[in-house]
Structure 1
């Protein structure tokens, strides 16, 4: 198994969990928050997708699906188009709303397909390429991709927990 195959397996698992969390829920259930300062399922899935879209596009030197394919307009959120949800206040979390789970899943699936396309062409040497020099040590592509994978799994797990509370 090649290193990119391991990453593809990990990202495919995220997709399975995202669909398991979102499918069958009403917009009201997706927006439900277990507490005043808690994140909704909608926000968690939107955020993990936005971060994956942003980070993978940056590392690949491509445009974000959110911006290039009109997802920002389809969601029509009262946020900056470049917003990924990082550092959101409870009020901002509440502003991330969708008319249906299909919109969330369709955006997630578009990002997932672009991610897989990028991952499938990687070589082991590519994973050692520095993609962010703002850290000490600088961040390699491999570390960035594992970081996104880890963050996504954490957020989809939080969303699954929130679904269980419904």
Structure 2
């Protein structure tokens, strides 16, 4: 297995799991908070997808799926189109409202863009520095693993909340 195949496998696991977390949930369940400041399933899935979309578009040099495919318009959230959830207040978390179908569609489109980008890479590309704001500078490989890690954590949180709804 090549490093690119390994990354595709990791992102593919997310693509399989996101629909399992949201499918069949009502809008009320998607926005349920287990505590007054807790994240909702809708916010967690929207956020993990926004971060993946933002980071992949950045390293690929492309427009984000969020805007290029009309998801920002479709979701109609009260945030700037560049918002991806990082640093949002508890009130803003509560403003993310979307159906299971919207969340799944956005993730599937972002996943497709991710795989299309991964298909352009060679193993040597993973050593390219993509962010010099850190010490040591962040390589493409590190950035992609970071996205998988962040997505996995948030997906696990969403699955946990779904389990509490049963």
TM-score (normalised: structure 1)? 0.98
1:9-50 C-alpha deviation (Å, 9 max, x unpaired): 000101111111001111110111111100000000000000
Residue aligned with 1:84, SS: coil
Q: Does 1:127 align with 2:95?
A: no
Residue aligned with 1:150, SS: helix
Alignment match, 1:105: 104
Alignment match, 2:164: 165
Alignment match, 1:65: 65
Answer whether contact 1:5 1:120 (CA < 8 A) is retained: no
In 2, distance between residues paired with 1:14 and 1:73? 24
How many residue pairs get matched?
A: 165
1:67-126 C-alpha deviation (Å, 9 max, x unpaired): 11111000000111100000111100000001x210110011000000011112211110
Q: Does 1:24 align with 2:21?
A: no
Alignment match, 2:113: 114
In 1, distance between residues paired with 2:72 and 2:20? 24
In 1, distance between residues paired with 2:17 and 2:157? 11
Residue aligned with 2:130, SS: strand
Alignment match, 1:4: 4
In 1, distance between residues paired with 2:111 and 2:123? 21
In 1, distance between residues paired with 2:72 and 2:162? 25
Q: How big is the alpha-carbon RMSD for the aligned residues of Structure 1 and Structure 2?
A: 0.6
Q: Does 1:77 align with 2:77?
A: yes
Q: After TM superposition, which residue ranges in structure 1, 4 or more long, deviate above 6 angstroms?
A: none
Gaps of 5+ in 2: none
Alignment match, 1:140: 139
Give 1:160 shift.
Answer: 0.2
